[in-house]
Amino acid sequence: MIGKVADKARLVNVLHNTPIRQGQLGWNCVIWVKEVLEGLKADGKAMGIIFLEWESVRNEAMGYCQRKKKISTGLMDRAYTIQARPQHTI
């Protein structure tokens, strides 16, 4: 959690007005999230309590993605291993 919404309409406005820059070299969803957080800070009223230390937010989000990726990969490996076993007939 990075904050508490104070005004949902203002939050939605910031989200809608933060552009998606597909095709722009070096742009990705991580940069979009950073721009949203900057927009929320500039708005000043959409969020009540907000944690805006970008490096900490980014590091936590990226760590979460890596943990999910490991879990997902582990499940896929197990499913593949089970399916890959040769079938024995008697």
In this structure, the answer to whether residues 5 and 39 fall within a common structural domain is yes
**pLDDT the model gives residue 77:** 55
**DSSP string for residues in 11-72:** HHHHHHTS---TT-TT--HHHHHHHHHHHHHHH-SSEEEE---HHHHHHHHHHHHHHHHHHH
pTM above 0.85, yes or no: no
Number of domains in the chain: 2
**11 and 45 belong to one structural domain:** yes
User: Distance between CA 11 and CA 5 in Å, rounded?
Assistant: 7
Residues 6 and 40 in one domain: yes
Same structural domain for residues 4 and 46?
A: yes
Between 45 and 86, residue with greater pLDDT = 45
pLDDT for the residue numbered 47: 92
6 plus 43 within the same structural domain: yes
**88 has a pLDDT exceeding 60:** no
Report, as an integer, the average pLDDT of 2-18.
Answer: 95
Q: Residue 1: which domain range?
A: 1-52
* Residue closest to 30 by CA, chosen among 3, 65, 5: 65
> Would you state the pLDDT for residue 19?
96
Q: What is the pLDDT at residue 80?
A: 47
Domain assignment present for 61: yes
| Shared domain check, 80 and 41 | no
